[in-house]
Amino acid sequence: MEYPEAFYHSYHSQKPICGVLAVAIAAGVTYDVASEACKQAMKDIYPNRQRFGGKTTTPQRELAMKRLGVKFERTNFETKKPKFIDVVRDFEPGVMYHVVTPKHIQTVLDGFVIDQGKRERVEAWHSANKRVREVTKIVGKGW
């Protein structure tokens, strides 16, 4: 699991683009393609929004992934809100997941977490104790 083409770590690391990055990684496309898909999904779902700054919502990410041919299953943890580290322990090996925590989304695969900040092991990740809102299992596509 690597960063997509056209993702410039020095430029993107402080921007609110975690959802676009998650879509790009799941679809196996460049950052620019994923950004355009998320932008178009935003226009379709929220027609009154004027500009796309990079922040995404779950329906927007799901629509963008559908259009890019990604198959996924969403699980809602909202009633329990378990900790990130506890949820990740139950993940199947070799399967990619998107994990939504308050105001952030991370991609997890085989014990590694990746977001716009960095890629590292789940145990060493700085936000391992955050509460999980939802998990999306990526069933198939370009990664």
Domain regions of the chain by residue span:
9-140
Contacts of 18 by beta carbon, 8 Å cutoff, 6+ apart: 56, 104, 105, 106, 115, 116
Q: Dump pLDDT digits (tens) for 89-134.
A: 889 999 999 999 888 999 999 999 998 878 899 988 888 889 998 8
CB 141 within 8 A of CB 26: yes
Q: Evaluate the CA torsion angle 12, 18, 19, 22 in order and state its sign.
A: positive
Q: Say what the pTM is.
A: 0.87
